[in-house]
Amino acid sequence: MSQHDWHPADIVAAIRKQELTLKELSIANGLTPRACSSAMHRPYEKPERVIANQLGVHPKEIWPSRYHENGKRRRFLHSKMVANKSLKSTKNSLSDASSLKTNLAVEE
């Protein structure tokens, strides 16, 4: 298996051979009209799956750079930022709750 992602033009051509456009494929699968087009240039899990299913392959075959050898998806900067933000808000919530307990204990 090649370690290079398919060229976006090759993906578009494969979809066009099935008499579809990326926009039609997106809409038919309940995505925004440009979702599949966005997946050509940046990681976007759901449209990647839609495109791969349409072509009858696993997304890892089209975008090997976006997946680990075992087939699990790699995490990218944006998803790491979201995870860190979620972790920080959870920590803040926990510290707010503990300071509230401390304040309540002091008042009693």
Q: Give CA torsion, residues 11, 16, 18, 22, to 10 deg.
A: 70
Task: Say if residue 97's pLDDT is above 50.
Answer: yes
SS3 73: strand
- Residue 1 is predicted with a pLDDT of 46
Model-level pTM? Answer: 0.67
Q: What is the pLDDT of residue 81?
A: 54
Tell whether the model's pLDDT for residue 38 goes beyond 90. yes
Give the Cβ contact number of residue 10 at 10 Å. Answer: 11
More reliable by pLDDT, 100 or 92: 92
